[in-house]
Amino acid sequence: MSTADITAEHHDEHHDHGPAKGLSRWLFTTNHKDIGSMYLWFSLAMFLVGGCMALVIRAELFQPGLQLVEPGFFNQMTTMHGLIMVFGAVMPAFVGLANWMVPMMIGAPDMALPRMNNWSFWILPFAFGMLLLTLFMDGGAPNFGWTFYAPLSTTYAPDSVTFFIFAVHMMGISSIMGAINIVATILNMRAPGMTLMKMPLFVWTWLITAYLLIAVMPVLAGVVTMMLMDIHFGTSFFDAAGGGDPVLFQHVFWFFGHPEVYIMILPAFGIVSAIIPTFARKQLFGYASMVYATASIAFLSFIVWAHHMFTVGMPLAGELFFMFATMLIAVPTGVKVFNWIATMWRGSMTFETPMLFALAFVILFTIGGLSGLMLAIAPADFQYHDTYFVVAHFHYVLVPGAIFSIMAAVYYWLPKWTGHQLNESAGKFHFWMSFIGVNITFFPMHFIGLAGMPRRIPDYALQFADFNAVASVGAFIFGLSQLIFVWNVIQNIRSGKPAEAKCWEGAEGLEWEVPSPAPYHTFTTPPQLEGAK
Amino acid sequence: MSLAANTKKLVARLVLGTVLMFGFGFAMVPIYNVFCEITGLNGKITRTGEAEGPLVVDQDRTIKVRFISVFNEEMPWEFDPMQKVYRVNPGQMQQTAFLAKNPTANNMVAQAIPSVSPSEAAQYLQKVNCFCFDRQPLDAGASAEMPMVFFIDPEIPEHLDSITLSYTLFDITDQQQLVEAKKDNNDKRSTL
Amino acid sequence: METKNNILRGGLFGALTVPSAAYAEWGLNMPSGVTEISRSVFSLHMTIFWVCVAIAVAVFGVMFYSMFHHRKSRGAKAAHFHENTTVEVIWTVIPVAILVAMAVPSAATLIEMYDPSDAEIDVQVTGYQWKWKYDYLDEDISFFSNLATSRDAIYNAEQKGENYLLEVDNHLVVPVDTKIRFLLTANDVIHSWWVPDLAVKKDAIPGFINEAWTIIERPGIYRGQCTELCGKDHGYMPVVVEAVSKEDYAAWVASTKAAAAAKAELAGKTWTLDELMTEGEQVYLKACAACHQPNGEGLPGAFPALKNSPIAVGDVAAHIDIVVNGKPGTAMQAYKDQLSAVEMAAVITYERNAWGNNTGEAVTPGQIADMSWDMDRLMTVGEEVYGKACAACHQPNGQGIPGAFPSLVGTDIVKGDIAAHIDIVVNGKAGSAMQAFKDQLSPEEIAAVVTYERNAWGNNVGDSVKPSTVASWNGGGK
């Protein structure tokens, strides 16, 4: 990255060491910018791998009948696509953004625990390398869905399940250590004068996300350990024969799983809350309620998990409770959407690439949220559950939701990282191709789900054919468009007009006080904050 | 306090926390059982022994109790209720039995796992004596009549008039052999 | 409050005036179905949908307006407000009110769905990898329901039919206007049973029993699918419910039981000579006496006598052959397609003992079944059965999938002890995906497929299996 160049030229610092040279720089770095970059490159690579798997899926589903892959391999693709995207693309990307931006945003020189930070990252390539290599095992890669319900994932699983469990443990350790690091950094290393209620919202959302991670990743570790015990050590947690219960698996998994999806969206909320004020040239509306709304969403996320299990045979009281609690989450989420719109209202907007992605986020995430509200209605959910309606819902909140926010963040902060202004037309081209592709792919899925197409099937009845064909075309458009993104990023690193410290006219925040590209070490002495922020 | 003393205190607290969390993990087993028995969650049934005190039979209501036998995987036994449907009054003691036969050429061990529907009825179906509490060994070709005594708690709510009790028969011969082997090893060791 | 009522009215007005059923017809929407519950669910769905559309229109309307008007290129100057408590309270309270309004009908419908009391018919639904089993608990009727779509259609070697992937060999036949309770469980992993037209979806969990119910108002065929990932062929285990009038249902029950009884006759029942004679006399009078006469003396010059005939008192095999396969060039037909194995065994036994023939020999149904199954027939039928029931896992070429499904080419079981081979097909292999096929394939089919496996793909073991061996196999014939 270009931060290597600056050490010779821009020396604001008192001490003299720049980054090491060569491979050791990356293996042993404790610098939050280096580690952030590694997370982001890793996430991009995983995004492309997971994306290829999605294209295998959509290619097979282009027409009814089996043309390209066998059902067993198809199940491996759907499973691995989910695992790679959730744990390898979305989460590491947000962690990478946190690593790069949180210290700068709070005026800290680095993260609180830099060596642990390095280790958190380096676990990931090994965990995912192992997971991907299971594709070559006899019996194939994990094929039981990213939600890996027992006993399909215990008694009936291929041998690769053990490596899957190991990989999940490794990723979990990485996330837990990363989250501890974030909390320690934010609570202890803010510049003097930056009270909690003066932090940028991206920092707030990451603080809350970190608490969610610390609370639920151990639960995931617990459930995969119970699986391991059932598979190899003769226990019966999820096996009725020994007095256990497959539904126990679902409860424990979703107790992790629901907060997990909020872990994947709260940082996105923070990003959008940084970008919209910048390009509307107007302060974020309702800062305090944004903080409280985020905290409420995080709290509520712990008490709604069984809305993923409405058809499992829960007692009526349980179904009613989870239905009502889930509907409630719409309130703080709605508050956030209204606040973003109120920020835009009577602002002075321009529509550079980051803003385009942020606005698309607001619109399309809201659509995903509304389909989520429909899913919350338990009696109706009996018709939606495990169909493409659910697939449409979660892809809307994850792709034009989380992924678009990540791209928005990358476009927003790239000039700060590289010192080069964005190539706006290239960025806009990527945006429009992605926006069109994403909608062509996922909007039809609402309809085929309602019409009765189940999830996780490699082949379908004829009435679903037309919209499946449309979705597959959209998927290829969207997938190929991401190559534009890769090109844009690499281009920006290597060339472009020099960017100023404050890359965007309306940008506010400590990160815009340091030069672009940001020096290898920033805020080695804490900044002096002027009054209210 | 000095840094060293502070550190020692923190380490002591963290170690204690770890020990407590570990112990909590072990305590989950009995706690989970108690919780499920009290709430009847997931159709788990209370294991009662003899009923406490004389039962008041409610003559005005009948509850239909249906027995179903389910075979897991390739479990080859024959396993049928002596009578499939009973109409009982709440509080009335009812005796029934299941007829099991192992038609294969191997000695086998089975476990019958009960499940009740609707799940809220589980807490009202009291089994005084049930073979499902124990593992059932049957030699090759042998049959057995497995008795069961139950009653419906008179407290059962008005809207419940039909209960289904299913027994899923699992083949646990392999697991039992492992257990026996371990026991043999332990016994051998203790006589050394 | 005013606003909330207006929104509610608007939403309900929208949902009611626009003919909701029309949306169901497009094939893009949930069906409104054929039960009261399914219609409640559909209207709940449409109401919620329109509420969401209204919210989206309002929210995006404001947003698009802002994106158009409040832009720098139009000369907009940024205002400086960044909070307004009144507005924030309003846009928190209104959503809560909308949610409460949505929660009431939702809870009502859910409570209705949770009432399985007073069911008239109980059907146990068991999910298997990868098919459904239905047991009519009060009728003693039990059968499997397998995907009927051919492999050729799936692999694009053949045109796909209208109900591609949604057709099965045996429908779940039920009467209309009757409360049916479904008791769901599973044999191996978690499956889920769903019929959209009934709005019934419930997970089938191994070791546990779940309950669901329906009252179908209209006769018809209603198709659904498994909706919980259950392995390789999760997409290939559809559900087909056929609702018929109560009279038709009663007739179906009667004929199904009769057919099952006929099948059971072959499965290892031991017939005494007396029983065969009694049955045989009935069959003789019905099917043979027209030509051979009730007294067995035939019509000289036209139809041979059976009394004292060399065939009836001589070699049994020849006697069986002529009844089963007929005598080409004569009027003596092949009865194998007209009489069941039991009927043929009985009539041959009768002929060998009636009218003073008194051979004392009895012919069993098993012998008859075996007679018509020569090597050719076993191999031909065996290949068909293999394609339908085994190839999905063991592959058409017998080589299986390494690490998942074993090969049958040159392997120990197929080339070794035939008893072990029969046993594993009949009783399955506990702890693996190899199911017990005794309940899913007839003894003839099992005999054929085992014979096929032992001789196909160069295995060439040379032996074969008789249907009667399978019919009386230990642990078989449940």
For residues A366 and A351, give the distance between their C-alpha atoms in angstroms, rounded to a whole number: 20
Give the pLDDT of residue B124: 87
pLDDT tens-digit series, residues A33-81: 999 999 999 999 999 999 999 999 999 999 999 999 999 999 999 999 9
**Does the distance separating the beta carbons of A451 and C30 come in below 8 Å?**
yes
Give the pLDDT of residue C477: 37
For residues A254 and A361, give the distance between their C-alpha atoms in angstroms, rounded to a whole number: 26
The CA-CA-CA angle for residues A92, A97, A102, to 5°, reads 130
Closest CA to C180 of C39, C35, C31, C32: C35
pLDDT at position C431 over 80: no
- Is C475's Cβ below 8 Å from some Cβ in B? yes
Which residues, at least 6 apart from B96, have a Cβ–Cβ distance to it below 8 Å? B67, B81, B82, B83, B86, B147, B148, B149, B150
The residues of A annotated with a catalytic role in the active site are 81, 110, 146, 174-175, 258, 260, 262, 273, 307-308, 333, 336, 455
Convert C261-276 to b/e letters by CB count within 10 Å (16 or more is b). Answer: eeeebbbbeebeeeeb
Kindly state whether residue A152 falls inside one of the protein's structural domains.
yes
**Does the distance separating the beta carbons of A323 and C52 come in below 8 Å?**
no
**Does the distance separating the beta carbons of A242 and B111 come in below 8 Å?**
yes
> In 3-state terms, what secondary structure has residue B44?
coil
pLDDT at position C290 over 90: no
Q: What range defines the domain where residue A227 resides?
A: 34-512
Tell me the CA distances in angstroms from A226 to A151, A235, B23, C283, one per residue in order: 12, 8, 17, 64
In total, how many domains does chain A have? 1
Quickly tell me which residue has 């409640």 as its tokens: C40
**Does the distance separating the beta carbons of C207 and A246 come in below 8 Å?**
yes
* pLDDT band at residue B104 under the 50/70/90 scheme: confident
**Does the distance separating the beta carbons of B41 and A313 come in below 8 Å?**
no
Closest partner CB to C188 (pick from B42, B73, B161): B73
Kindly state whether residue A297 falls inside one of the protein's structural domains.
yes
Tokens of A464: 């679903």
Closest partner CB to A386 (pick from C109, C228, C401): C228
Closest partner CB to A315 (pick from B72, B119, B168): B119
- What is the longest distance spanned by two Cα atoms in chain B? 77
Which residues, at least 6 apart from B129, have a Cβ–Cβ distance to it below 8 Å? B147, B148, B149
Q: Chain A contacts of C73, Cβ < 8 Å?
A: 350
Contacting B with CB below 8 Å, chain A residues are 234, 240-243, 245, 247, 313, 315-316
pLDDT tens-digit series, residues C181-230: 999 999 999 999 999 999 999 999 999 999 999 999 999 999 999 999 99
pLDDT tens-digit series, residues C107-144: 999 999 998 788 899 999 999 988 999 999 989 899 99
C26-33: long-range contacts, CB 8 A cutoff, minimum separation 24: C27/A451, C27/A463, C28/A447, C28/A450, C28/A451, C29/A447, C29/A450, C29/A451, C30/A383, C30/A450, C30/A451, C30/A452, C30/C196, C31/A452, C31/C196, C31/C197, C33/C196, C33/C197, C33/C198, C33/C199
Which residues, at least 6 apart from B15, have a Cβ–Cβ distance to it below 8 Å? none
pLDDT tens-digit series, residues A508-523: 999 999 999 999 999 9
CATH topology of domain B63-178: Ctag/Cox11 (Pfam 04442) (2.60.370)
Q: Chain A contacts of B119, Cβ < 8 Å?
A: 313, 315
Give the pLDDT of residue B127: 79
* pLDDT band at residue C287 under the 50/70/90 scheme: confident
Kindly state whether residue A533 falls inside one of the protein's structural domains.
no
Closest partner CB to C137 (pick from B76, B84, B160): B84
**Does the distance separating the beta carbons of B42 and A245 come in below 8 Å?**
yes
Closest partner CB to C431 (pick from B70, B117, B174): B174
The complex's ipTM works out to: 0.92
**Orientation of helix A353-376 relative to helix A266-280, angle to 10°:** 140
Q: Chain A contacts of C88, Cβ < 8 Å?
A: 286, 289, 335
Residue B137: cis peptide before it, omega within 30 degrees of 0: no
pLDDT at position B42 over 60: no
Residue ranges in chain A modelled with pLDDT below 70: 1-17, 531-533
Q: How many CB atoms lie within 10 A of CB C139?
A: 14
- Is B43's Cβ below 8 Å from some Cβ in C? yes
DSSP annotation string for A197-233: GGS-HHHHHHHHHHHHHHHHHHHHHHHHHHHHHHHHS
For residues C101 and C6, give the distance between their C-alpha atoms in angstroms, rounded to a whole number: 12
Domain ranges (residues) in chain B: 1-39, 63-178
Chain B residue with Cα closest to A248 = B42
Give the pLDDT of residue C19: 42
Q: Chain A contacts of B70, Cβ < 8 Å?
A: none
Give the pLDDT of residue C470: 86
Give the pLDDT of residue B82: 87
Per the prediction, chain C carries an average pLDDT of 87
Query: What mean pLDDT is predicted for residues B93-114?
Result: 87
Tokens of C73: 């290129």
Kindly state whether residue A369 falls inside one of the protein's structural domains.
yes
Query: What mean pLDDT is predicted for residues C266-291?
Result: 82
CATH code for the domain in which residue A470 is found: 1.20.210.10
Nearest-CA distance A313 → chain B (Å)? 8
> In 3-state terms, what secondary structure has residue C257?
helix
pLDDT tens-digit series, residues A349-400: 999 999 999 999 999 999 999 999 999 999 999 999 999 999 999 999 999 9
pLDDT tens-digit series, residues A396-435: 999 999 999 999 999 999 999 999 999 999 999 999 999 9
DSSP annotation string for C289-350: HHHH-TTS--BTTTB---TT-HHHHS-HHHHHHHHHH--TTSS---GGGTS-HHHHHHHHHH
Nearest-CA distance C124 → chain B (Å)? 9
Q: Chain B contacts of C187, Cβ < 8 Å?
A: 70-73
Strand B162-171 versus strand B63-71 pairing type: parallel
Closest CA to B84 of C238, C407, C122: C122
Give the pLDDT of residue C2: 42
Region label for A284, one of left (φ > 0), alpha (ψ between -120 and 50) or beta (otherwise): beta
For residues B180 and B177, give the distance between their C-alpha atoms in angstroms, rounded to a whole number: 5
First to last CA, chain A: 31
Identify residue C141 by its one-letter amino acid code.
I
The percentage of chain A sitting over the pLDDT mark of 90, rounded to a whole number, equals 93
- In the stretch 164-223 of chain C, residues with CB closer than 8 A to chain B read 181, 183, 185, 187-188, 206-211
For residues C268 and C365, give the distance between their C-alpha atoms in angstroms, rounded to a whole number: 9
The percentage of chain C sitting over the pLDDT mark of 90, rounded to a whole number, equals 54
Kindly state whether residue A520 falls inside one of the protein's structural domains.
no
- The DSSP 8-state label assigned to residue A341 in this structure reads H
Say which residue, B100 or A80, is predicted with more confidence: A80
Closest partner CB to C137 (pick from B42, B66, B71): B66
pLDDT tens-digit series, residues B19-34: 999 999 889 888 888 8
Quickly tell me which residue has 């693996």 as its tokens: C432
C-beta separation of C198 from C34 below 8 A: yes
**Chain C: touching chains (3 or more CB pairs < 8 Å):** A, B
Which residues, at least 6 apart from C175, have a Cβ–Cβ distance to it below 8 Å? C121, C243, C244, C245, C246, C248, C249, C250
C-beta separation of C94 from C8 below 8 A: no
- In the stretch 67-86 of chain B, residues with CB closer than 8 A to chain C read 68, 70-76, 78, 84-85
Say which residue, A384 or B106, is predicted with more confidence: A384
Chain C residue with Cα closest to A317 = C111
Tokens of A172: 């979990």
Closest CA to A277 of A223, A202, A334: A202
For residues A531 and A373, give the distance between their C-alpha atoms in angstroms, rounded to a whole number: 41
Query: What mean pLDDT is predicted for residues C383-398?
Result: 89
